[in-house]
Amino acid sequence: MLCVGLDPEPSRFPTELHHHRHQDATEAFCRGIIQATAPHACAFKPQIAHFAALGAEAVLERLGQWVKTQYPEHLWILDAKRGDIGSTAQHYATEAFTRYNADAVTLSPYMGTDSLAPFLSHRDKGVFLLCRTSNPGGDDLQMQTLQSGERVFEYIARLAATRWNAADQIGLVVGATYPTEVQRVRAIAPELPLLIPGIGAQGGDLEATVSAAATPSGGMFINSSRAILYASATDDWQAAAATEAEKTRLAIADAYHVRSA
């Protein structure tokens, strides 16, 4: 259930890559991390802003093609958090699914049905909608109470589990920093896959989150980025990343087995 986030920051790359151009170092670093952690992960999640800020969109394209060839059993989830009107969303969908070869993409649901439709028209692809995010500022909107009595994040979960999900393509982004809300999302949407950031560097409670998210039919992708990517800055960086990924995978498995028991 481990998803490895790819958030490349050249200033934190291992010293052996510092003499390369940013684009070359970024590609070498991401390939090295993927190779090292693939035995322990089920998915990889590149964050598009980290590549775009470096002018490394071509690197992201090549990585998407390479991963789908070398690791076809792993999901390639583009973390883009797009959300725009239908005509623009159509181009964003092409960007995610054609240019970057993503299996799924993260989206903001704020603009509603027609902003999601162009992505959902790709019936062999998936989307993860921002629901209860791991950042403190999520309270500003997500925790507001509607006239119906539901909070905004609960209403999003309900729409995602029903009206929006006609072809079973939707999952939800919920943060490990808020396990109580994760539990509430699970009560509303027991069968949807959850993409769960917030463990590792953000300090989310892994055991509480797995306990809240585990259901017989609903899967989860628990994301860790910086704790794995930057486990070492010396020449053992791949081995250190593999060790951290394995440790995280085993911790997830332990928490899941405790919950199942």
Residues acting as catalytic residues: 81
Q: For residue 230, what are the CA distances in angstroms to 133, 225, 236, 247?
A: 23, 8, 11, 15
Helix (H) or strand (E) holding 128, with range, is strand 126-132
Question: Between the CA of residue 175 and those of 53, 61, 90, 157, 199, what are the distances in Å?
Answer: 25, 28, 28, 13, 8
Non-local (6+) Cβ contacts of 59 within 8 A are: 23, 26, 27, 30, 51
CA distance 229 to 224: 9
Q: Are 222 and 249 in contact (CB under 8 A)?
A: no
Q: What is the DSSP string of 169-232?
A: -EEEEE-TT-HHHHHHHHHH-TTS-EEE--SGGG---HHHHHHHH--SS--EEEEE-HHHHTS-
In one-letter notation, the amino acid at residue 138 is G
| CA–CA distance, 103 with 178 (Å, rounded to integer) | 27
| Distance, CA of 207 to CA of 193 (rounded, Å) | 18
